[in-house]
A and B are shown apart, each in its own frame.
Chain A
Amino acid sequence: MAIECLILGAGQEVGKSCVVVTINGRRIMFDCGMHMGYLDHRRYPDFSLISESGDFNGSLACIIITHFHLDHIGALPYFTEVCGYNGPIYMTYPTKALAPLMLEDYRKVMVDRRGEEEQFSSDHIGKCMNKVIAVDLKQTIQVDEDLQIRAYYAGHVLGAAMFYAKVRDAALVYTGDYNMTPDRHLGAAQIERLQLDLVITESTYATTYRESKYIREREFLKAVHNCVGGGGKVLIPTFALGRAQELCMLLDDYWERMNLKVPIYFSAGLTVQANMYYKILINWTSQKVKDTYTTRNAFDFRNVCSFDRSLINAPGPCVLFATPGMISGGFSLEVFKQWAPCGGNLVMLPGYCVAGTIGHKLMSAKVPAKINIDRDTQIDVRCQIHQLSFSPHTDAKGIMDLIKFLSPKHVILVHGEKPKMAILREKIQFELGIQCYDPANNETLCISSTMYIKASASDAFLQSSLCPNFTFLKLNSGLDSDLGDSNTRMEPMLRVCDDRVAQGLLTLQKNQNPRVVNQNELMTTLEVKTHEIKFAHCCPVCFAHSETTDMDSSHSPLNKSSFLLHLLYVKLSREFSELSIQDCHHHIQIKSFIISLCSKEQCSHRTTVGPGALDAPYFCCTWFLEDEKIAWKVISFMKNLDLSHS
């Protein structure tokens, strides 16, 4: 069977995450985001690729939303209410709580401020949210009889989750956005070792290796402190949820320690409300917040007050958190316009800005610079620009670590920039030996998946499996090479193997289920007989005359044969003292090698008729393949027996 991945968004780009995966006939849509950089049709994924007829309900088993960022959820109301999808939607509890706020905020900005055409209404958002089924971490949800999903903690933002989905034997993990290092307010992603065919991971920082968070924190605090120390104003445009809280926790602690009195403002509305959600959803935050919760809620900031529009131009230093993050509009843009021309002020840019936003322009700008806000407005930027290296996304090391930990059979990279993704792809394939892909938007990818076959086991096999049955394999490298040698030996000389499973045999008979049987049962199961290959050789043995003459006169033929055998036995045991040779009266046995006196005149196994062969007794030898070496050794000895005595 195969897993089919249709990349509707975030293929070789950041924005409008949307991947539709078909596993064993079940179609799941992971994320349903919008692109913040576009205002035309490109802002939504091309849903028509899912179903040309528009019958989304029939073709999709469910939608899974990883977190509430607009590039992961922005298109959801449009898809459900405008395109008409009515199936189940899964997201975590915090996401369900916070998503409507984000969507509503975005709708307001778009419609009320920019006067754009409405893509979806508040009503749509409400109806859409009604279809959502909230899930908890590590809770296994049986979507239908085959499809199982489970959420794992992803860090990133409040309520962000990675999703594990399994249909019959094929399983995959869709990471969404995640963070492998904890920050002040959220923990690191956490997942367990799973049997996976595929991991679809974000790759925002495909080639970045980030410094320790302590250095980031130190630099941030230094920059802010220097600015307010000089009487400047600090604008920190952030998303309402996430960075704002983390930075605020950091500042709050620092303010407390340094005894600073400069006011820290939160722009009204969303951010204040968001803090409330954080306070409620303590369980989704970092270990530290959880630990201290009993004594004090870390989100009860001691130095933070809410902001009033009239304070924009109030004298004196201050720190202001304002939305939206990339100065793409809204309040942060308004404040930016006012504060940017003053050299003493500071703008803290978030670590990542989507192309097309003011933030993106500022990142590459050299102060002083002139920035075009829109077609008519140009702003003279004189303030300092400091780029935050805080980011809720994992870096290349984190991605590698996660993939190494999960060790899936295949990896698909999404949510990143094309050239960087290619580098990471190569790295994964080279270092970890895992097949990796970085498909573009609207591409479909097919990868093979696991399929397990159910087989019944015989009782004997089960019995034999109960006890340990290990053997040690010695590697035949011959050389006891050490690390210093040029051809370094990477494997141990001795290895332990448990043969329990290896000793089972999978049998597949017509019209029957596959069955595992023990080696010993195989014959009876298959109702066949054992065939053995037996070798035979008949050769004369010349005894010395002195030895045979005593016998000639006094013994009957029967005695004669046993005497000869005994004679041979004595000689053989003298020669091959290391072998266990048994004299069984009628024959001599060495393992499977049997020597008996040949009484037939025309034995079919005779090959040689040598000189003096006529009066010499013939001995017939038989053996199995495994004792071939011994056999030929003994035979050659027997043949040359007389020579040794002459």
Chain B
Amino acid sequence: MEQHLLSGSPKSAVVALSLITNPFTSHQTLSSLLDVLILNLQDQKFDHPNKILSLLAAISHQRPQLSSRIVSAVQKFFFVPSVPIPSFPCALSLLLNTDHSNTIGSGPFYDESLFLSLCFWPCVKTRRWVAKNVGAFLGVRPSVLLTVLLGITKDPYPCVREAALDGLVSLSNRVAVDDKSLTECCYFRATELLFDAQKSVRRSAVRAVCEWGQLLVALNEEKCKRDWSDAVFLQICLMARDMDMNIRVSAFDALGKIQMVSEDLLMQCLSRKALESTKEKNYPGHYTVKLLRIPASAAAFTFVHGLQDEFHEVRRSACCALQMLMAFSSEFTGEAVHVLMDILNDDSLVVRLQALETLHHISLCGQLKVEESHLHMFFGSLMDGSPMIRSASRKAIQSIKLPKLKMFRLCIDALVKNLELYPLDEADVFSVLYKIGRIHGKYVASIVQEVFQELEPSFDGNLGFHNTRTAVLLVLAISAPVSFDREICSIPPQVFSYAVTMLGRISSSLVDLFDQNTLLNYLSHCSKFTAVSASEFFKGELLDSQPKNSNIHLGKMSDWIFNGCSDNLIGLKKFTTPFQHHSNSVDAATSYTQVIFQQVRDLWPMIQLGYMNEVILTLRNWKHELKRLNNDVHQSTAILVFSMNYLSVIKLYGKTWAHYLSLGNLQFNGMGILEALLQKTERRLEEILCRFLGLSREEELHILELTLVTYTLRLSSGATCCFNACMNELKSVISRVERLHRERSIELSDFIIELQNALCEIDNSEDDATDRLYLFQKSLYLFSPKHIVLSGEIKYMSADVNIFDNSFENPIPFVTGLPVGVSLEITLYNISSEARLWLTIALTEKSTQFIFLDFHEFEGCNEVRKFPFVAPFYRTPKVKYFSIKISVAIECLSEVQRLRHKNGPKHEVVQLCEEKEVHLSLA
């Protein structure tokens, strides 16, 4: 059949192509087709090599495994004497597109005569192909490549000229030319083509001028390098006024690449008239087609034209070029800043963003000199509707140095306004405030002095946290002691203690500079000094601005705080910051959780005082941090989950406590919420006890103690309606605690001892409820959480339930009244063989069906066990459609029997995984 295919009719090629492109064509068929094609290719009489070559290209594209055969066939093809030259490009591109690594050192791309004959072939297409793919001719001498390409730039066909210029550009990076006259010739030929009638040629010429100009500069002697570079720059400047947008973009792109330009010329680019310094200067190059001398004044206004171009692409490119060229002259930079500030009024977002980035770049180099006339525009961008612009403008602002207090004030006002309009920017705004505050210590000091009254808490004792301005001023104030100004800054120490109240907010925004502890230490330290001594001690050096060094400096500072001033800082203990740890250690999670656990203890007084917002914020930060760790390290998941659960318990405690406090003596007010919170807390604690294996006695005791606290809270608030039931539960926990105490002789806390006493007293007395409440409250006040240390390796029990092929659109069919089987895949993690597992299938909140999971019969170890399971659901309702929720639960064996399920668990169950919804519909 294949023989027929190439019998010559035009249809045959189409048939062959369809065979090739069809993915179901067998390998054998293709292979024999390939044989025929190759045979025909070598056949001298065959006069359609292009057709065959294109088919071969299709095969090699579709089946890369055949390409090696194709390549070798095509390589032989070049030695067939009668091959017409026009077929070569086709064959060569076939080789180019397939991997021809085996042809290195030989082959058609190393054949100089082939290259030359292709170049001088009368066909335009061939020439264009060669010029475009000139880079592929690895074996041809660079001088030959260059000479021929240079000659082809004279071609009457624009597409060939364009390809030749592109070829020159690609060669400029790859060949080392040391012939100055040849380089010069290439450069001048390219400049000539800048005046071509065809857009595409001009565009390629711009690139070629840029590349070859730089080669030319490199080849010149040291003393005339600058002049040549100027000449190239000027030549490209002319193209910035071309009528075609793309050419203008390329021109500015090219300007940005120039390595060396004299200041005069740069200044001329921003001036609308010829400057004195450049008036008489001329440079070689094409001014018009005929004039071979470019006056330096031709560069006038280049950048301004670019920046006010109609197309934002050009404006952006001009902005980028400005940024690159600013390295050459500070005077130029100063002028360019004026222009850039005006660009901030541009209507295109991209351009404004680029302008701000350029400004940021300048300010990083310390060259940004802001004048008052700029401020309106510059600070105006802080109020921009686009978050990107605001962020970019803050970035630019954070490192500027403002010469006047008035300007600094405007800056702060703008930042306040930014924050008021866009509260989400808070973290970034704070960080900017801190950074600019550090640069302008003197101004900060004077501003804070003026507005100190504003910062003072009002007489009802409330700090205006909600007030954006207060927050801004506080952040600003705390930056002053670490200011670069050596002058003494006198920030009232109270301000630092006020700032502590916003610790979470501030530390989260300054996360690249400090961690929270360092910040807290710093703040508490500063708040304890008189103004003068604080600044004397810090001398503006301890907290350096460089983020990368900040840890070292902060370390120093905290060392200093702990060693030198330990008298003043009783109560603050030294510990390593988490950040120093988790860089390389696997135990990062463990150590970090230890730190957190310790801090939880320190948090307790705040909870007791009811500063819940701060507590919640801190907890949230810690959780956030834990989550981040979770991504990094997999081994320590259990510890992390434990810590997360622990933190949520603490959070619940905080909330409960707050409610408890707010209740006062009104016992029957708002009980609902407290009850709900208590229940939730109990549930969580139970879960912790139940789901974590390998908890040490101390840890268990700790959790139990917390459980006791919930019961006590419930009892002391009078929140429970069934006092006796609650008392029973309390007693059972107490007995558990006592057992632990006996077994391991662990010391009991004051709270538990007091509670035991209280229970005894209640049992012995017959007093009324108020008295009991008092007893419980008394013990409660003795409670403070201990620092738990996770000792051994803990494991976390969990499960996974997978239901295949089920969704709302794709339900499982059922028949009403008959049981239905749901196929599941269950994965159990860290479940010991003693555990009693239940599959819970809930139809509604109330009706839950339990199925005992006898997982022992399935393979797998305790760590991971994965097995399929068909769960029968019996009580199918009389509806067309319903959904059930499936989950795996574990029975807490240590608990008292509470549940009375008919065929279900006798103890409390804890769910091991999220409930999965299963959709069923009438068959």
Contact = CB atoms under 8 A, between A and B. Distances in A.
Interface of A: 181-182, 184, 187-188, 190-193, 209-215, 217-218, 253, 257, 286-288, 397, 401, 404-405, 407, 431-433, 463, 465-468, 470, 472, 474, 482-484, 488-498, 500
Contact of B122 (A181, A433, A467): A467
B185 A182 contact: no
A495 B150 CA distance: 10
B342 A212 contact: yes
Max chain A CB contacts within 10 Å: which of B228, B272, B300, B310?
B310
A212 B270 CA distance: 10
B272 to A, nearest CB: 4
B717 to A, nearest CB: 52
22 contacts: A188-B309, A188-B310, A193-B196, A193-B197, A193-B243, A209-B273, A217-B345, A257-B383, A405-B242, A407-B289, A433-B288, A468-B120, A468-B154, A470-B154, A483-B228, A488-B284, A490-B284, A490-B285, A490-B292, A495-B185, A496-B153, A496-B154
A271 B217 CA distance: 57
Contacts of B304: 212
B831 interface: no
Contacts of B185: 472, 492-496
B310 A288 contact: yes
Contacts, number: 140
B310 A468 contact: no
Q: Which 6 A-B pairs have the closest CB atoms?
A: A214-B342, A470-B151, A466-B122, A498-B154, A182-B310, A494-B185
A190 B243 contact: yes
Interface in B265-281: 272-273
A489 B199 CA distance: 29
Given A468-B127, A492-B187, A397 B284 contact: no
A287 B342 contact: no
B292 A491 contact: yes
Contacts of B289: 407
Contacts of A492: 181, 184-185, 187-188
A211 B184 CA distance: 37
B310 A286 contact: yes
Interface in B291-308: 291-293, 295, 300-301, 304-305, 307-308
A218 B310 contact: no
Contacts of A494: 181-182, 184-185
B121 A467 contact: yes
Contacts of A433: 288, 290-291
Interface string B98-121: 000000000000000000000111
B247 to A, nearest CB: 11
B224 interface: yes
B291 A432 contact: yes
A182 B195 CA distance: 23
A307 B231 CA distance: 57
Contacts of B221: 482
Given A482-B224, A484-B223, A489 B284 contact: yes
Contact of B288 (A432, A465, A468, A497): A432
B155 A498 contact: yes
Nearest to B285: A490
Contact of A401 (B122, B241, B284): B241
Interface of B: 119-122, 127, 147, 150-156, 181-182, 184-185, 187-189, 195-197, 199, 220-221, 223-224, 227-228, 231, 241-243, 272-273, 282-285, 287-293, 295, 300-301, 304-305, 307-312, 339, 342-343, 345, 347-348, 377, 380, 383
B155 A468 contact: yes
B155 A484 contact: no
B53 to A, nearest CB: 24
A483 B120 contact: no
A73 to B, nearest CB: 26
Nearest to B185: A494
B301 to A, nearest CB: 6
Contacts of A257: 380, 383
Contacts of B311: 287
B272 A431 contact: no
Nearest to A434: B288
A430 B383 CA distance: 51
Nearest to B226: A483
B536 to A, nearest CB: 46
Contacts of A404: 241, 288
Nearest to B147: A472
Contacts of A210: 272
Contacts of B287: 432
A212 B292 CA distance: 30
B342 A215 contact: yes
A531 to B, nearest CB: 33
Contact of A214 (B227, B295, B345): B345
A287 B314 CA distance: 12
A214 B308 contact: yes
Contacts of A217: 345
Contact of B308 (A213, A432, A463, A484): A213
Contacts of A190: 243
A500 B157 CA distance: 13
Contact of B284 (A187, A468, A491, A497): A491
Contact of A468 (B152, B227, B291, B345): B152
Contact of A484 (B156, B188, B227): B227
B889 to A, nearest CB: 54
A161 to B, nearest CB: 15
Given A215-B342, A494-B184, A484 B310 contact: no
A496 B127 contact: no
Contacts of A495: 185, 188-189
A469 to B, nearest CB: 8
A398 to B, nearest CB: 9
B203 to A, nearest CB: 13
A150 B377 CA distance: 43
Contacts of B283: 483
Contacts of B187: 492
A545 to B, nearest CB: 55
Contacts of A468: 119-120, 127, 151-152, 154-155
Given A397-B301, A498-B155, 14 more contacts: A193-B243, A211-B272, A213-B308, A405-B243, A407-B289, A467-B122, A470-B152, A470-B154, A482-B220, A483-B284, A488-B282, A495-B185, A496-B154, A497-B154
A405 B291 contact: no
Contact of A287 (B121, B290, B310): B310
B19 to A, nearest CB: 38
B225 to A, nearest CB: 10
B150 A496 contact: yes
A171 to B, nearest CB: 13
A404 B343 CA distance: 28
B184 A467 contact: no
B248 to A, nearest CB: 11
Nearest to A465: B156
B307 A397 contact: no
Contacts of B155: 468, 498
Nearest to B303: A212
Contacts of B121: 467
Given A493-B181, A498-B155, A212 B307 contact: yes
Contacts of B154: 468, 470, 496-498
A489 B282 CA distance: 11
Contact of B231 (A253, A401, A483): A483
Contacts of A500: 156
Nearest to B123: A466
Contacts of A397: 272, 300-301
A636 B513 CA distance: 94
B166 to A, nearest CB: 17
A484 B223 CA distance: 8
Nearest to B148: A468
Nearest to A188: B310
A491 B188 CA distance: 8
Contact of A209 (B120, B272, B307): B272
